[in-house]
Structure 1
Amino acid sequence: MPAPVLMIVGTASSAGKSTLVAALCRLAARRGLRVAPFKAQNMSNNAAVTADGGEIARSTAVQAAAAGIAPTVAMNPILIKPEGQRRSQIIVEGKPWRTLDAADFWQRKALLWPVVTRNLDALRAEYDLVIAEGAGSPVELNLKAGDLVNMRVAVYARARTLLVGDIDRGGIFAQLLGTLMLLEPDERQLIEGLIINRFRGDPALFADGVRILEERSGVPVLGVVPWIEDLGLPEEDAVALEQARPVVTQGLTIAVIQLPAIANFDDFDPLAREPGVTVRYIDHPAQLAGAAAVILPGTKHTLAARRWLRERGFDAALRQFAGPIAGICGGYQLLGERISDPLAVEGAGGEEAGLGLLPIETIFAAEKQTTQTVARARVEWGGTADLYGYEIHMGRSHRLGAAQPFLTIVQRGAVATTEADGCISDDGRVWGCYIHGLFANTEFRRGWLRQLGWQPPSEHTPSVDPFDRLADQVAAALGPATLDRLFTVSP
């Protein structure tokens, strides 16, 4: 018999659905259940690579980690990677399918529903429980006809469905009651409970709110989940970067240039978690003031990012910057002499001169490189341990003349190799490579930070697993009786 599906839908984007799915995956795994996450369709440039080279949303890979399993493409069969306001690359079952304008994708969505059901069915045959996540709101009335990810999935799977609202945004009654009102009757009957998310303060103060919601909706409020500071999990997409961030002037500051269509910016979360280190996302050269180093991150549209840097005045500012400069993936390409996209792989294609800070040239190819990668640093401060990460890129970069590589690749996927990769300037100040996740390697990360004058903490503070911390908070909010009911897997 297929495994049951527990589904989390939200009143809006960024209501906390992804985080709650991660928490529930960890709680289910603690009970000995074989549990898998599922999100039929995601839109994000924060991606991860599976063991077989498939590409899925980073948030789904995080949920799989919470469940204690390796991520697979079945968990996120459709990934939309925006290249601009209207054009996106569509990843289907881990591989590029087509690059489409929004209108063209809408016309082709009917072709993808069998992809959704096939992968959900496969997970239900393999696991005891599937915890599915919706996207945005399930009642965007102009979009429901093409729904691939919200209530159409819930109805197909007859999923026990929970509706989540973000009280920190305000308007929680309109969020939850309005969403319930707009659901179709067959969808409404699947809603088993409401969850209030991100409550600041004593939840007892919202007792009247719980009563009002239950009286008006006839649906139980299963819990009030508190606001959790510094959770330490990657953000789902770049929406998080649009929120105002405090400016910190003490300690070591690393500036990350917030390129258009920025991708995989969770690369820098391990830096931000180090004591005495601030990661500042910037979009203007004046914000380089006080930074000890600059990082150019990945981007889904390198040529557009190159033009943006020139228009913003970053060319001169980066050439005058005296500190270290690093580039990851698209950022690495931008540091080179020339970027060429003759096949129009990204946008309209074309060619641009790079920043000229590394002696490399990049040419975009039709085939995307997606692989889990193991490397070793070729610089003294990079340490001697293997460096684990992953690659997602269309471009192929070549060092010019006697340019020095930055890394040696020792394994791509399951294939051993000894390939020189990346590039570092003669003075060691500027470097770049394609490997995402480098800074998650502690020896490498701290070696680079020491080059900037950072000192590690003198006392070791035992780390707390962020999934366990999150799961404990959610478990306390929902209570054991609710969890018992949600995790019942017998027919």
Structure 2
Amino acid sequence: MPAPVVMVLGTASSVGKSTLVTGLCRLAARRGLRVAPFKAQNMSNNAAVTADGGEIARSTAVQAEAAGIQPTVQMNPILIKPEGGTRSQIVVEGRVWRALEALEYWQRKQELWSIVQRNLDVLRAEYDLVIAEGAGSPVELNLKAADIVNLRVASYAGARTLLVGDINTGGIFAQLLGTLLLMEPAERALIQGLVVNRFRGDPRLFADGITILEQRSGLPVLGVLPWVDDLGLAEEDGVALDRPPPPLHSGVPIAVVRLPHIANFDDLDPLRREAGVAVHFIDRPAQLAGMAAVILPGTKHTLAAWRWLVERGFDTALRRFSGSIVGICGGYQLLGLTISDPQGIEGQGGEVQGLGLLPIETVFQAHKRTAQVAGRARLPWAHDLPVAGYEIHMGVSRRRAGRPAMLLGAPDAAEPIEDGCVSADGRVWGCYLHGLFANHELRRAWLRTLGWHEPDFAPAAPDPYERLADLLEQHLDHARLTELLTP
């Protein structure tokens, strides 16, 4: 018998589906089950790389980690990476399939349903339980006919399905009851319970709300989950970048330029969680004032990011900036001499002059490099420190002078290769390594060059997965939770 599927649907995007799936994966794992996450289709520029070089959504990789397993492409067979306008790169089973306009993808979407089925079937054959996640709202009536991620998956798997809504945004009754109202009877029959997420204050004040939801829906409310400021999990949605910035003098100030189509911004999470560091996401050159360092992060569309930098005057401001400057992936490409796209990989193609802060030239190629890598840093203030991370990029950058920032190798590489570049004085540097600042020794070595001092006492950070699982155990109905997670 194939393993049962638990599915988490949401009333909209960013209501907490990914987080709930992550917590359920950890709960199932610590009950001794072999559990795997699944999301048929995800739209995100935050990606991760599997051990065999496949590309999946970062949130799915986080869920796999919570389950105590290695992520695989079967867990997220379709990844849509927006490139600008209505065009996106479509990644199927871990590899680039093609770049399509939204209408083109819509017209070809049904071709991918068999791929969704096949990959879900593989997981159901290998694990005791699969916990699947929907996307956006399951009842967008103009899109529902081509659905391959929400109710179609739930119906195919006969999934034990939960519906979650976000009370913090308001309108929780309209969210949950309205979503149920728009479902077909057979779809609604799949829903086994409701979850109210992100409640601020005393949940006893919502007791009558639970009664109303249960009476109107005929379904149990499994629980009311509290608002938590920071669970310590990698964020998937760009709305996370809209949080209020920290006070300017709350720590060593580091600016991150909020490039258009910003990618893998969870690269900055280790810095944001470091005591004595204040990370500011900025979009205007004037905000560079008083910063000790500036980071150009990854972006799905480097040429568009370059045009945006020039239009806003960042090109001049960055050349005048006297602090440390770091580029990661697309941000590294922007620091160079030239960026060339002769094959139109990023749309219309072309060539631009980079910031000229590092002696590298980048040419985009059709082949996309996706690999987990490890090696040693070659930075002057972090020479020979161990580093590990992953690469996702379509450009090849060649140094015309200077020295590499890293010496890296993939698991199947015969010899390590030079990656990145560092200026003669060590002030400007960059590389293709995502997960760069998750390397504890390297991160702190760089911060010390900015005047940061390690705190005398820093309490150990709690395991975010255990903390989340404990939260679910505390606030969700125990009997129904057990029933839900029983193979």
Distance 1:225 1:416 in 2: 49
2:220 paired with 1:227: no
| TM-score after normalising by structure 2 | 0.98
- For the residue of structure 2 that corresponds to 1:211, the secondary structure is helix
Residue 415 of structure 1 deviates from its aligned partner by: 2.3
Indicate the residue corresponding to 2:92 in structure 1.
92
Q: For residues 307 and 380 of structure 1, what CA distance do their matches in structure 2 show?
A: 32
- Which residue does 1:407 correspond to in 2? 406
Quote how far apart the aligned CAs of 1:245 are. Answer: 3.9
Aligned equivalent of 1:465: 463
8 Å CA contact 1:80, 1:89 repeated in 2: yes
Indicate if the aligned counterparts of 1:35 and 1:129 stay in contact, CA closer than 8 A. yes
Distance in 2 between the 1:272 and 1:246 partners? 10
1:362 corresponding residue in structure 2: 362
The 5 Å alignment of 1:77-116 reads 77-116=77-116
State the partner residue of 1:195.
Answer: 195
The separation in 2 between residues aligned to 1:247 and 1:152, in whole angstroms, is 46
What are the within-5 Å matches in structure 2 for residues 150-189 of structure 1?
150-189=150-189
1:27 matched to which residue of 2? 27
**Distance across 2 between alignment mates of 1:355 and 1:35:** 47
Partner of 1:280: 280
Residue 218 of structure 1 aligns with which residue? 218
Structure 1 counterpart of 2:258? 258
Q: Deviations over 1:139-158 (max 9, x none)?
A: 00000011010000000000
Moved more, 444-453 or 411-420: 411-420
1:435 to 433, 436, 453: 433
Give the CA deviation at 1:462. Answer: 2.3
Query: In structure 2, how many angstroms separate the alpha carbons of the residues matched to 1:460 and 1:180?
Result: 47
Contact 1:53–1:413 (8 Å) recurs in 2: no
Separation in structure 2 between the aligned mates of residue 385 and residue 360 of structure 1, nearest angstrom? 23
Q: Post-superposition shift, 1:290?
A: 1.5
Structure 1 counterpart of 2:448, one-letter code? R
Q: Which amino acid aligns with 2:410?
A: R
Which runs of structure 2 are paired with 1:109-128 in the superposition (5 Å)? 109-128=109-128
Given that residues 246 and 279 in structure 2 are in contact (C-alpha distance below 8 angstroms), is that contact kept between their aligned partners in structure 1? no
- Tell me the CA shift for residue 347 of structure 1: 1.6
Alignment: residue pair count = 487
Q: Which amino acid counterpart does residue 356 of structure 2 have in structure 1?
A: G
How far is the alpha carbon of 1:248 from its aligned partner? 3.8
Structure 2: gaps (5+ residues)? none
Q: How far apart are residue 383 of structure 1 and its match? A: 5.5
| Partner Cα distance (1:249, 1:476) in 2 | 37
Superposed CA offset, 1:123-144 (max 9, x none): 0000000000000000000000
| Kept after mapping to 2: 8 A contact 1:294/1:324 | yes
Shift of 1:237: 2.5
Q: Which letter does structure 2 place at the counterpart of 1:144?
A: K
Query: Is 1:483 aligned to 2:487, yes or no?
Result: no
Matches within 5 A, 1:31-42: 31-42=31-42
Contact 2:379 2:422 in 1 (8 A): no
Instruction: Describe the SS at the equivalent of 1:439.
Output: helix
Q: What is the CA-CA distance between 1:460 and the residue it aligns to?
A: 4.1
Q: Which letter maps to 2:365?
A: A
Structure 2: how far apart are the matches of 1:416 and 1:478? 50
C-alpha displacement at 1:362, in angstroms?
0.1
Matched letter for residue 463 of structure 2: D
Q: CA contact under 8 A between 2:10 and 2:137: conserved in structure 1?
A: yes
Q: Is the 8 A contact 2:293 2:324 kept in 1?
A: yes
TM-score, reference length from structure 1: 0.98
Q: Secondary structure at the match of 1:15?
A: coil
Paired with 2:243 and 2:290, the residues of 1 have a C-alpha distance of 22
Q: Equivalent residue of 1:267, what SS?
A: helix
Q: 1:224 to 1:426 in 2, by over 3 A?
A: same
The answer to whether the 8 A contact 1:301-1:347 is kept is: no
The aligned amino acid for 1:346 is E
Determine if contact 2:380/2:426 at 8 Å carries over to the other structure: no
Tell me, what secondary structure is at the counterpart of 1:315?
helix
Tell me which amino acid in the other structure corresponds to 2:451.
Answer: G
Once the two structures are superposed, what CA deviation does each residue of 1:408-447 show, in whole Å capped at 9, x if it has no partner? 11x2133242322210011111000000001001000000
Residue-by-residue CA offset, 1:148-176 (whole Å, 9 max, x unaligned):
10000000000000000000001000000
User: What's the counterpart of residue 132 of structure 1?
Assistant: 132
SS of the aligned residue for 2:8 comes to strand
Give the match for residue 59 of structure 1.
Answer: 59
Q: How far apart are the structure 2 equivalents of 1:396 and 1:125?
A: 39
Which AA in structure 2 matches 1:133?
A: E
1:245/1:188 Cα in 2 relative to 1: closer, same or farther (>3 Å)? farther
Following superposition, the deviation at residue 250 of structure 1 comes to 2.6
SS in 1 for 2:290: coil
Distance 1:461 1:379 in 2: 29
CA shift for structure 1 position 247: 4.3
1:348 — aligned with what? 348
8 Å Cα contact 2:326-2:332 kept in structure 1? yes
Deviations 1:38-88 (A, max 9, x none): 000000000000000000000000000000000000000000000012000
Distance 1:326 1:143 in 2: 41
